[in-house]
Structure 1
Amino acid sequence: MFAGRKKELSYLEESYSQDGSRIIVMYGYRGVGKTTLLKRFAEKKDLTYFLARPCSDEEERLIWNRECGGDAVDPEMQEVPSYTDILGRLISAGGGKKILAIDEFQNIIRYSPDFMEQLVNFINASDTQIFCVLLSSSISFVENDLVPRIGKYAMSLNGFFKIPELCFLDCVNYFSKYSTKQCMEVYGILGGIPAYWKYFSDEKDLKSNIISTFLADGAPLKEEGMRVVSDELRETNVYCTILNCLAADVCKLNDLHKHTGYTRAKISVYLKNLMEMGLATKVFPFDGASSINARKGIYRIPVRLLIFYFRFLYSNASALEMMNAEDFYENIVSPGLSEIFKGNFRRVCSEYLDILSSRHALPIDVTSSGEWPGKDGDIDIIMQNDEGDSLIGFCRWDKGEMQVSDMDGYYRLIKSASLHPDHIFVFSAGTFSDDLKKSSDLEGNIRLIATEDL
């Protein structure tokens, strides 16, 4: 099932429609749907596709030559065709604009130093207009290594297009038989990666889906967390140690140092690498809030499947092997799910406010946003306009019914952060007491939002 991607399809169509040949780089997490998006975009167009393997330059050319119908080559007897020769066979003259897609192209760049030169020269010399899409699942390679590797040929790239995870609204549309809250739970485990969504069914409950997808013998995503880490990282023991700590909320540099015994300098280097890969992020208190009572230097895992994997599977691997899947779920997974869903609820609420902001449906025109991690509690969302008017949001997942006393606690946090909000949005996965509803009506600047409103 193809989900969402209207903006992405529009971008590709717009780039494709421009006159002349173009080369763009399209990249994002593995499983985010790059190839599916390409196939949908290329329907009824002239597409040539090649998936690059991690192998030597010569072996890559041999494989590509064979796949495009070239003659069998004995490397010991004949010269292996160049990329220029192979491209010339693939891209026939005439017949309108061609699409050339090279998937996981970093596998060629890493081992074929003259590939980009041959590709650019071929496209520039061709009488046929070519729309070349270079796809990659290696975010770190594209954002940090690509330009230094290809040098002056980077000037021939016409655009970089990072494919984001699908949003919560897409998740709701995909799992159409689930309630809003059930979709939040799925989103909290699988994130916005459609390749993971296909393993869950809205015909089954959450427990059954988790067991069949993560816990049972041969479950398809049982080792996915380790694969994500090990695909491109060496010294996985160090990275897994740090990620396991972050998943357990050991998230400050000094706490990581105390827990692991690694030096702060070493941890900083590995955190930097994880952030470059999109596997960790650093949280900064909102600029307009007081830093005195804020927690500083906090790191988080933004990939929700990794949080689930390290919180439950990696840290309990022995029990996972010895216990039956249902017992493992009941004793280890189920008690800790609420904590994972709590962090995800903040993300869903932020997406909701971003959508309202894009439609100019908020009481302020947002120009900056963030959060405030406090020593005694967090302000989940802070939004501000150029005039300094502000909106803050509190996201409560684990409370059955919110009371007026909960708002009193929020006001203490607001004071601790030295904020003076013009508007307060309170999100709850539970309900609101009648007294709280009356109080918010009297205040006038408080909006109470339940999950069904999302």
Structure 2
Amino acid sequence: MFIGRKAELDFLESKYVEAESQLVLLYGRRRIGKTETLKEFCKDKKHIFYSCTQTSAIGQLSKFSKQILIENHPAKRYTNEFPDWKGAFSALKELPFDKERKLLVIDEFPTLCKGNESFLWDLKEVWEKELKNENIIIILCGSATSYIEKEILTENNPFYSDLTGVYKMESMGFFDACSFFPYYTSEEKVLAYSVLGGIPRYLKQFEPTAPLFENIKKKILTKGSVLYSEADFALHKELREVAVYNSIMETIADGSSRLGDITKGAYINDTAKTSVYIKNLSELGIVERVLPVDAKSKFSVSSGVYRLTDNFFKFWYSFGLANFSQLEDGDVEGVFKYNVEPLINEYASFAFVDVCVEYIKKLQKEEKLPFRYSSIGYWCGKTFAKDGAKKKGDVKECNVDILCMNQDKTEYLIGDCNFSKERYSYSRYEEFRNSLPPFDEDEKVYFAFFSRSGFDDKLRLEARRNDNLLLFDIDEIVSSKKTPQSFTRKTSMESFLL
């Protein structure tokens, strides 16, 4: 059963129904589900689906010719193979699809380009002279994101101007990903997402009816399982010096987020070298540099931090590689009991913040927020904040999980996320508020708190009385059924009755 990817399918469908011919580029990292998405898009349409393989340029053309020369193609009467790519592309005009639009998908086309540098030039020439005026849509799909972005999606490449659509596929968000686990509780869905992330190939490895912890032990930590060797396989396929990259990612997974700390933790003697390694990992969609949301009007600017964007890689480098010798020895139960289970909730708290950010974005699309924000992100820095026990302010560290601002920086939504087994208490709410800088009278500040274990009675009462405060427990977030009250203030009597 195909799950999710509505935005991608809608994009492809919109291109399919346009009157003009379309030349579309769809790309994204490996394992992300590009091929399955294209198959889902093509399944009810007449089409040619060609998957490039690691073979010679002549071999590619021969295989492509056989795909084009389907039964009843006029060219089949006089040839079994096209002499060149121009001839093959030109033959697309005569595909016997009746009045239905001609649809061609070339999957993993960068593989073909590397063996034949003239491929894109041949396609460009035939497209401009013949195909752009035909009822045809060609979709080029590839996983070599660095090559595509550096060599094709640049104004210096003449082929770029012929593209009528470009779409970069990203990992699935939480709400699509948790559809793979319909029988899990809300907590288990967040935990599963923190372990697997949004890569469909990884999500499919778990058995939806099996207990979460059993899936982790059997499908990730057990030698011989697909995911046990996935990180190592992915790195060897894309990079050299895998040992160095392993050290970098293990260091980041262990908590280092600044370039200097990563360099030191990975035993690299030059931060410039570390930057190059991290850049390569970023191009693969595994590591990213996250900058604080722009809040210069209230917060001191601090530099960004590096983090593992792929939850599965983060889990593996937090628990798998760190205990690799024991796992190789078959001690899966021991590793899980003493190394994974005691830390799994703390580990998942970071993914829970991502889930809450996605939820806020969902609320904005549904126009259920008190204002429309233009920026959303995290903040970590020093602020001039008040101390609850003092009348004067003081410089303190301020950590904000979620900060949303409007364009004018006059309205703020500040979010705090709690994935512990303890309820979010009123005292924590006060402590959090006191850590923030003072706001001007003409600035509107809203608070949204997200909790795995609910909220204490005093904080719930405060939320009923305060139109600027919203509380979301994990079931409300995961089900997305709660409709915010648009922060409309209740009357004193309404608050009393609640």
TM-score by length of 2: 0.82
1:400 is aligned to 2:431 = no
Kept after mapping to 1: 8 A contact 2:299/2:381: no
Kept after mapping to 1: 8 A contact 2:323/2:335: no
Kept after mapping to 1: 8 A contact 2:29/2:284: no
Q: Map of 1:194-233 to 2, 5 A cutoff?
A: 194-233=200-239
1:380 is aligned to 2:401 = yes
Pick aligned residue for 2:361 from 340, 354, 357: 354
1:121 is aligned to 2:128 = no
CA shift, 1:246, in A, is 0.9
Pick aligned residue for 1:441 from 464, 467, 470: 464
Q: Which amino acid aligns with 1:413?
A: S
Q: Which is worse superposed, 155-164 or 167-176?
A: 167-176
Give the Cα–Cα distance (whole angstroms) in 2 for the partners of residues 262 and 80 of structure 1.
54
Residues 40, 323 of structure 1: alpha-carbon distance in 2 compared, 3 angstrom cutoff: closer
Give the Cα–Cα distance (whole angstroms) in 2 for the partners of residues 292 and 122 of structure 1.
55
Q: Which amino acid aligns with 2:365?
A: S
1:391 is aligned to 2:413 = yes
Larger radius of gyration, structure 1 or 2? Answer: 2
- Unmatched segments (≥5 aa) in structure 2: 71-80, 383-396, 478-498
Q: Which is worse superposed, 375-384 or 289-298?
A: 289-298
Give the equivalent residue in structure 2 for 1:76.
none
Equivalent position SS for 2:161: helix
CA shift, 1:26, in A, is 0.5
Give the Cα–Cα distance (whole angstroms) in 1 for the partners of residues 154 and 465 of structure 2.
60
Pick aligned residue for 1:430 from 420, 429, 453: 453
Equivalent position SS for 2:286: coil
1:27 is aligned to 2:39 = no
Give the Cα–Cα distance (whole angstroms) in 2 for the partners of residues 333 and 442 of structure 1.
41
Kept after mapping to 2: 8 A contact 1:93/1:128: no
Residues 377, 339 of structure 1: alpha-carbon distance in 2 compared, 3 angstrom cutoff: farther
CA shift, 1:289, in A, is 4.8
Listed one character per residue, the Cα deviations across residues 192-230 of structure 1 (whole Å, up to 9, x for unaligned) are: 122222111231111111122112232111111223333
CA shift, 1:236, in A, is 2.1
Equivalent position SS for 1:251: coil
CA shift, 1:172, in A, is 3.5
Q: Which is worse superposed, 158-167 or 415-424?
A: 415-424
CA shift, 1:68, in A, is 6.0
CA shift, 1:294, in A, is 6.6
Listed one character per residue, the Cα deviations across residues 242-282 of structure 1 (whole Å, up to 9, x for unaligned) are: 11111111111121232223311111222223223322111
Give the Cα–Cα distance (whole angstroms) in 2 for the partners of residues 4 and 80 of structure 1.
39
Equivalent position SS for 2:435: helix
Q: Which amino acid aligns with 1:175?
A: F
Give the equivalent residue in structure 1 for 2:147.
141
Give the Cα–Cα distance (whole angstroms) in 2 for the partners of residues 105 and 238 of structure 1.
30
Pick aligned residue for 1:92 from 73, 77, 94: 94
Q: Which is worse superposed, 58-67 or 180-189?
A: 58-67
Kept after mapping to 1: 8 A contact 2:374/2:407: yes
Listed one character per residue, the Cα deviations across residues 145-204 of structure 1 (whole Å, up to 9, x for unaligned) are: 324698212221112111232222223333221122111111111111222221112311
Give the Cα–Cα distance (whole angstroms) in 2 for the partners of residues 368 and 305 of structure 1.
27
Listed one character per residue, the Cα deviations across residues 263-319 of structure 1 (whole Å, up to 9, x for unaligned) are: 111112222232233221112222215797675331011111110111111222211
Kept after mapping to 1: 8 A contact 2:222/2:330: no
Equivalent position SS for 2:86: helix
TM-score by length of 1: 0.90
Q: Which amino acid aligns with 2:2?
A: F
Identity of aligned residues (%): 29
Q: CA RMSD in A?
A: 2.8
Q: How many residues are matched?
A: 447
Residues 235, 18 of structure 1: alpha-carbon distance in 2 compared, 3 angstrom cutoff: same
Kept after mapping to 1: 8 A contact 2:326/2:332: no
Kept after mapping to 1: 8 A contact 2:223/2:327: no
Equivalent position SS for 2:228: coil
